[in-house]
Structure 1
Amino acid sequence: MDVLAESLGGIQARGALFRQAVMDPPWALRFDVGVPLTLVTMLRGRAWAVPAEGEPVPLGPRDIALVRGPAPFTVADDPATPPGYRVTAADHCARADGTEAGAELFRGVRTCGVRPDAPALLLAGAFDGGSGAGGRLLRTLPGLLVVRDGAVLGPTLDLVAAEVATDRPGQQVVLDRLLDLTLVSALRAWFDRHPADAPPWYRAMEDPVAGPALALLHGDPARPWTVAALAAEAGVSRATLGRRFTERVGEPPMAYLARWRIAMAADLLRETDATVGSIARRVGYADAFALSVAFKRLYGTRPSEYRAAAAGGRGWSEATRYASESSQPWV
């Protein structure tokens, strides 16, 4: 069982904003999309990523910047350049004052800018999935991280660059999949280069005791696990499992399982129309009442209220709460 894959499953590009911009200096784009995660890369030229809080970070050609939302941020030729244009979910080419830029910046499908051969070519994509399993992963990330040396992602970025300005049947699906692939590749590269800063559960997957236990919990989360049963399956004593798992993951096995079950329930509430009772049984709770009690303890709201908020487009509240926890860029 791949714990990272399960966590990334909650963060996906679905009909996502995916655009490129070509700019002459001085230039600055303010990203105000309001999503949990945005990916930015310079396909040509250099820039600065300026988070809502924290210091600006330089971006070289093909560096990948991941910015945790929903707070706005700016990408510019210089940190001192004021934003001239504003990127929103509705329009990639709006002026910063809110007026429409119109034909003056239109350069074809999913592209805006001053002229096709301008020295700066920026590409950006936005992700859904700020709660549940995806939110669990996002909480471990800094507000801004940068994966240097885009050569490791070269083939993927080449595909993206070739497809983003294309308009063919099924194009949005192609772009969504490419954006997902770019995210997975960037996170794996960043975790590999910064192992001490990777999520504890990610590092723990390589541990001979905690790793198998994590795989067992993720492989069958609805099973009525106890520490004794988990230890027996993992082939170690209860004491060894409890100590090693807590050291490596940061919390005891049953506490981890409870959080994972609720994360799964949150995704099912947001993405399906299954009843709360059926979701409860699917993630390991006896009935809707038991799930509701556990869900409210961790999320501060009942499952039905959470589902209504997500359906009403208010599903970013959790991501908003987490966005303020870490704004220091990590490079």
Structure 2
Amino acid sequence: MAPQIPTGADPLTELLNGVRTVGAVFNQSTLSGTWAVRFEDGSPLALAVSLQGPVWVLPQDGEPVLLGPGDVAVLSGGNPYMIADDPDAEPGVVIGPGGRCTTVDGQDTRTTQGPGSTVLLNGLYTVDHGVPGQLLAALPALAVVRAGQGPCPISPAAFEDITRPEPGRQVMLDRMLDLMLITALRSWFTRPGAQVPAWYRAHGDPVVGPALRLLTAGPAHPWTVEALAAKTGVSRAALARRFTTLVGQPPMTYLREHRLALAADLLREPGATVGAVAGKVGFSSAFALSATFKKVRGISPSEHRTSETRAKD
């Protein structure tokens, strides 16, 4: 039986629904004088918030952006970046995997805590826990949410309380990072003039929106354009034409890429087999998934999983 069209769903909820971290790394630094911190942690998503004073965010392949107090920077893709008091400053500290803090020559150190003119808060998502691939694909390398665009759900006082070394501290940090990220992304995706993917905008269409929700709700169902058209109440040709115009690709191409994105996320999970993942995302066998994955992504599912494991290490 084909899935029923989900009601009450919105594209932002679907996009953010899988955002959940385990083992969040937070760092609050109090800085003064001339300083620069380079981040090489490889986190697929990271947050930077200036709690006090202006800071510059310098993505590896982008223009420097100035953050004021309360502004939130969301960095995606895992590429190195730098945060500094001046865009021309040289880094003195490097943040590596797991939040390890070293000097530029690899000696363990720590950022300063004490009086200073700048207070910087960083939250890092661990590489080995699910950040949906569709979310990463929808984000630029650097998305900035200005203080006036949306409320910050965590006050500095609340952060100080949560970070005390007491029972339950880590799970509170994890949920706090999720809440901060979701709040920031909600403001970013819904801001006036937001540049969002075509499929995101297409969710508001009375024909294509329900079709997208059906594909999202039941990726393992053996969909055809005819079956999808019957569910949405239009002809096969009308659905194919409207879907392609609004989303930028035909329905079955979108479904294939959605299934592969889900497979890539599921393959990160410990103990996941290619055969089990294939069944969950709508491929008839491990061979069918492997062949399509290799054709579209250039590597096999096993190679993808190995590369993810190496990234974690």
| TM-score after normalising by structure 2 | 0.88
Relative to structure 1, the CA distance from residue 91 to residue 38 in structure 2 (aligned partners, 3 Å threshold; closer, same or farther) is closer
Q: CA deviation at 1:47?
A: 0.6
Name stretches of at least 5 consecutive residues in structure 1 with no aligned partner. Answer: 106-111, 317-331
Give distance in 1, aligned partners of 2:148 and 2:178. 16
Q: Which residue of 2 aligns with 1:64?
A: 72
CA contact (8 A) 2:47 2:72 kept: yes
Q: Which residue of 2 aligns with 1:329?
A: none
Give distance in 1, aligned partners of 2:131 and 2:226. 26
Moved more, 157-166 or 199-208: 157-166
**Superposed CA offset, 1:20-40 (max 9, x none):** 111012121111112222110
Q: CA deviation at 1:278?
A: 2.5
**Superposed CA offset, 1:127-151 (max 9, x none):** 2469987223212322212101157
Q: CA deviation at 1:85?
A: 1.4
Aligned partner (choices 145, 149, 154) of residue 147 of structure 2 = 149
Q: Which residue of 1 aligns with 2:164?
A: 166
Relative to structure 1, the CA distance from residue 130 to residue 238 in structure 2 (aligned partners, 3 Å threshold; closer, same or farther) is farther
Query: Which structure 2 residues correspond to residues 293-304 of structure 1 after superposition, within 5 A?
Result: 293-304=291-302
Q: Which residue of 1 aligns with 2:186?
A: 188
Q: Which residue of 1 aligns with 2:6?
A: none
Moved more, 199-208 or 92-101: 92-101
Relative to structure 1, the CA distance from residue 306 to residue 92 in structure 2 (aligned partners, 3 Å threshold; closer, same or farther) is closer
The one-letter amino acid of 2:171's match is V
The number of aligned residues is: 305
Aligned partner (choices 136, 139, 142) of residue 137 of structure 2 = 139
**Superposed CA offset, 1:222-277 (max 9, x none):** 11111111111111222221122222222111111111111111222211424322
Structure number with higher relative contact order (C-alpha < 8 Å, ≥ 6 residues apart): 1
What SS does structure 2 have at the residue aligned with 1:49?
Answer: strand
Relative to structure 1, the CA distance from residue 3 to residue 294 in structure 2 (aligned partners, 3 Å threshold; closer, same or farther) is farther
Relative to structure 1, the CA distance from residue 38 to residue 150 in structure 2 (aligned partners, 3 Å threshold; closer, same or farther) is farther
1:224 is the counterpart of 2:232: no
Aligned partner (choices 95, 102, 125) of residue 103 of structure 2 = 95
CA contact (8 A) 1:213 1:234 kept: yes
CA contact (8 A) 1:19 1:92 kept: no
Relative to structure 1, the CA distance from residue 77 to residue 184 in structure 2 (aligned partners, 3 Å threshold; closer, same or farther) is same
State the identity %: 47
The one-letter amino acid of 1:54's match is G
What SS does structure 1 have at the residue aligned with 2:268?
Answer: helix
The one-letter amino acid of 1:143's match is A
Q: Which residue of 2 aligns with 1:313?
A: 310
1:85 is the counterpart of 2:82: no
**Superposed CA offset, 1:96-148 (max 9, x none):** 332223xxx5xxxxxx41x4231211111112469987223212322212101
What SS does structure 2 have at the residue aligned with 1:197?
Answer: coil
Instruction: Give RMSD over aligned pairs.
Output: 2.5
Give distance in 1, aligned partners of 2:35 and 2:246. 45
**Superposed CA offset, 1:14-72 (max 9, x none):** 21221111101212111111222211011111111111122110001110101223221
CA contact (8 A) 2:202 2:209 kept: yes
Aligned partner (choices 192, 209, 212) of residue 210 of structure 2 = 212
Relative to structure 1, the CA distance from residue 252 to residue 55 in structure 2 (aligned partners, 3 Å threshold; closer, same or farther) is same
Moved more, 126-135 or 10-19: 126-135
The one-letter amino acid of 1:43's match is L
The one-letter amino acid of 1:303's match is P
Q: CA deviation at 1:195?
A: 4.5
Give distance in 2, aligned partners of 1:67 and 1:256. 26
1:42 is the counterpart of 2:40: no
